[in-house]
């Protein structure tokens, strides 16, 4: 039997639809509407860089332009509709997914107790019970409130003192949870005081979690290799995802499909049988995206589908940067059209440069659409005006 082929155009349309980038960014962006956006995406990566807006806020604003950061805080702190934990990085995750982190907690507990024993300074495991007692007796705390008498070493990014390491270990292993963020500082409490009882009581077995991880990842990606399914949540191993794909394919629950890249090369993937039904082109809307947007998080996939090569240059010396410290991808419809260097400077939005992609023409209509999006971004960022650099379109 021949393998169906998803053309590059079709693949882009499926992928963008699954990532909430097909329709115009309308909607309340609060409460149940915002929780539904996060559930559709699977999770929203949290990141501290704030040259214009934090990554998670820009991800949500790109899909709901009425969104404001307080709405995500409310979902975490008041509604308990999301919890914060680790996928490939720190993320806001729908609370309904919490039971499937049980196996991740157990695996991380075993892995980190070995790995961090040599990586971190001193004996952090000896501090875990002390940290647990501190939070149990005195309530939520931050990393700055434990181990006050412990040496901080050189003060480097990863130079945690033992109690800070213990605190992170207890969070990664599920014994503590993030109850809120103060600014961008995590505040930890006992998991039983943060996660609602119904989700803590649910304990799926490993196979249930593997099934959930693979099926939910495939629904959110539209099409994927077994490796991409394993990497989506990062809760299962590549071998577990590969075995799930083999069984699901043999049972006819999924199908093999060849997905065309922008260069015409085919990549064997898996998809649900109805993946090619009702494929529609996305709205011709120009959007400024976060560098950590779910549609671009997998840089290799973004390059295959859109021909868009993107790397963050924060850690590249200034003289060696091709673009800028932290530039934002720009999408129009189903096409990546460029990247923009902008930052918030008090109440001004300073736009240094925009670099169109090869063969993208910046005619009057497209310039107008970009400037309209910049005005919307300025309002979102609380900026009263936009200042453009000389020759800002390169």
261 phi-psi bin (left φ>0, alpha ψ -120 to 50, beta other): beta
What pLDDT, on the 0 to 100 scale, is given for residue 142? Answer: 93
Instruction: Please state, in angstroms and rounded to a whole number, the distance separating the CA atoms of residues 103 and 100.
Output: 7
Q: What is the mean pLDDT of residues 135-142?
A: 95
What pLDDT, on the 0 to 100 scale, is given for residue 147? Answer: 77
Token pair listed for 194: 């943060």
Q: Is residue 118 over pLDDT 80? A: no
- Grade residue 368 by pLDDT with cuts at 50, 70 and 90: very high
Token pair listed for 327: 């530039």
Q: What is the mean pLDDT of residues 105-123?
A: 81
Q: Is residue 45 over pLDDT 50? A: yes
Domain ranges of the chain: 123-195
Contact 160, 146 (CB under 8 A): no
Instruction: Please state, in angstroms and rounded to a whole number, the distance separating the CA atoms of residues 277 and 285.
Output: 23
Q: Which residues, 6+ apart, have CB-to-CB distance to 63 below 8 Å? A: 20, 21, 25, 27, 37
Kindly write down the DSSP assignment for every residue of 34-55, as one continuous string: HHHHHHHHS-EE-----SSS-H
What percent of the chain is predicted at pLDDT more than 70? 96
User: According to CATH, what is the number of the domain 123-195?
Assistant: 1.10.10
- Grade residue 32 by pLDDT with cuts at 50, 70 and 90: very high
- Grade residue 157 by pLDDT with cuts at 50, 70 and 90: very low
Q: Is the pTM above the cut of 0.75?
A: yes
- What is the pLDDT of the chain when averaged over all its residues? 93
């Amino acid at each position: 039997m021949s393998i169906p082929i998803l053309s590059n155009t079709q693949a882009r349309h499926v992928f963008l639809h699954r990532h909430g980038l097909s329709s115009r960014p309308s909607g309340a962006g609060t409460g149940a509407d915002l929780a539904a956006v996060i559930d559709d995406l699977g999770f929203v990566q949290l990141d501290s860089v704030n040259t214009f807006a934090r990554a998670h806020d820009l991800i949500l604003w790109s899909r709901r332009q009425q969104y404001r950061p307080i709405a995500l805080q409310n979902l975490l702190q008041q509604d308990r509709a999301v919890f914060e934990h680790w996928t490939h990085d720190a993320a806001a995750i729908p609370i309904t997914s919490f039971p499937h982190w049980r196996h991740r907690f157990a695996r991380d507990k075993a892995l980190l107790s070995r790995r961090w024993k040599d990586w971190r300074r001193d004996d952090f495991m000896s501090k875990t019970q002390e940290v647990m007692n501190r939070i149990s007796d005195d309530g939520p705390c931050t990393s700055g409130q434990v181990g006050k008498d412990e040496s901080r070493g050189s003060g480097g990014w990863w130079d945690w003192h033992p109690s800070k390491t213990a605190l992170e270990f207890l969070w990664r292993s599920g014994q503590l949870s993030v109850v809120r963020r103060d600014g961008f500082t995590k505040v930890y409490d006992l998991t039983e005081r943060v996660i609602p009882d119904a989700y803590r009581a649910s304990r799926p077995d490993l196979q249930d979690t593997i099934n959930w991880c693979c099926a939910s990842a495939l629904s959110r990606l539209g099409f994927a290799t077994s490796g991409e399914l394993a990497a989506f949540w990062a809760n299962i191993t590549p071998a577990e995802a590969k075995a799930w794909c083999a069984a699901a394919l043999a049972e006819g629950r999924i199908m093999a499909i060849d997905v065309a890249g922008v260069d015409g090369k085919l990549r064997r993937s898996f998809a649900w049988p109805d993946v090619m039904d009702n494929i529609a082109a996305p709205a011709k809307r120009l959007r400024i995206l976060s560098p950590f947007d779910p549609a671009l998080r997998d840089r290799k996939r973004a390059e295959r589908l859109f021909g868009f090569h993107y790397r963050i240059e924060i850690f590249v010396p200034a003289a060696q940067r091709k673009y800028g410290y932290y530039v934002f991808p720009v999408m129009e419809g189903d096409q990546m059209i460029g990247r923009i260097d902008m930052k918030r400077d008090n109440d001004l939005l300073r736009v240094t440069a925009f670099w169109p992609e090869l063969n993208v023409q910046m005619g009057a209509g497209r310039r107008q659409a970009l400037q309209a999006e910049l005005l919307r971004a300025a309002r979102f960022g609380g900026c009263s005006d936009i200042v453009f650099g000389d020759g800002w379109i390169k």
